[in-house]
Amino acid sequence: EQVTDADGNVIRENFVDDMAGRDSGGEGQNPKYVALLAGFAMLYMQQTNRDSRIKLVLLDEAFSKMDQERSAVCLKYARQMDLQLIVCVPDERLQSLIRNVDCVYGFRRHKNQISMMHIDKGNYLELLEGVE
């Protein structure tokens, strides 16, 4: 992160490691996710000669300490770079992410069986907002 004055001169630079070390929780996670997503984007840009244009990134328990605003910034950043994210989060995190994703699937393990269910984003948002 570069901080500039009114003339565009760099007056301070904040490096990812410094920002992550001094900030707590989501503030420390944010620069790490930005760096991670930028790294994936660079990797995929190097493979432009491939027939497949998939730019898949798998994230387990992503954005776990971030608030809704910081999570949204990271998800929008990934979208701007044309990255396709599969994000695994516990139920309690879904509410803060659902407005910034395309589709949602729920998984449930019962005994030795795992079931999967598509969650209708529109219906879920209506429930959150109290619309019947």
Looking at residue 130, its pLDDT comes to 78
Q: What is the pLDDT of residues 112-122, one digit of tens each?
A: 999 999 999 88
Q: What is the pLDDT of residues 69-111, one digit of tens each?
A: 888 888 999 999 989 999 999 888 888 888 889 999 999 899 9
Query: What is residue 63's DSSP assignment?
Result: T
Q: What is the pLDDT of residues 33-74, one digit of tens each?
A: 888 999 999 888 877 666 667 789 999 988 888 888 888 888
**Paired tokens of 56:** 């898949």
Q: For the whole prediction, is pTM greater than 0.75? A: no
What is the SS3 string spanning 43-78? HHHCCCCCCCCCCEEEEECCCCCCCHHHHHHHHHHH
